[in-house]
Amino acid sequence: MARPKGTKNKKITREILEQGEPCKITIKCLGRVFKSEGITFDDAVNKIKISNGARALSVITITDGKTKKTKILNARHTNGLFGQGSPTMKSIHIKSVKQMLGI
């Protein structure tokens, strides 16, 4: 009898992540401030939706426990992460921003 693929790993990582500090994100874009909190970086990013203004320069601040990182995102990354687009493009932009931030 085989278990469904990926169920064991997802349960373990979710339990481990819930014990740690949540990831807090603050976005400053065109004079507006958006705040979000999630278990992981991906969860926190998916909670923020920016309409009419996602194609602009933004400043992202990530607080994860003891560390605090601030970076400037160009318009393409801002639109890819927080705009209205396909889930595939969103995951590509999440991966590249994670690399930029060193997460």
Decide if 50 is inside a domain: yes
Specify the pLDDT at position 21: 77
Decide if 14 is inside a domain: no
- Ranges of residues in the chain whose predicted pLDDT is under 50: 1, 12
Decide if 3 is inside a domain: no
Decide if 80 is inside a domain: yes
Provide the domain count of the chain: 1
Asked if residues 43 and 56 have their Cβ atoms less than 8 Å apart, the reply is no
Distances in Å between the alpha carbon of 49 and those of 7, 12, 26, 37, 74?
Answer: 29, 29, 12, 13, 17
Specify the pLDDT at position 24: 93
Domain holding 26, by residue range, is 21-101
Decide if 33 is inside a domain: yes
Distance of CA 53 to the CA centre of its chain: 18
Specify the pLDDT at position 52: 72
What pTM was computed for the model?
Answer: 0.75
Asked if residues 39 and 74 have their Cβ atoms less than 8 Å apart, the reply is no
Decide if 97 is inside a domain: yes
Decide if 8 is inside a domain: no
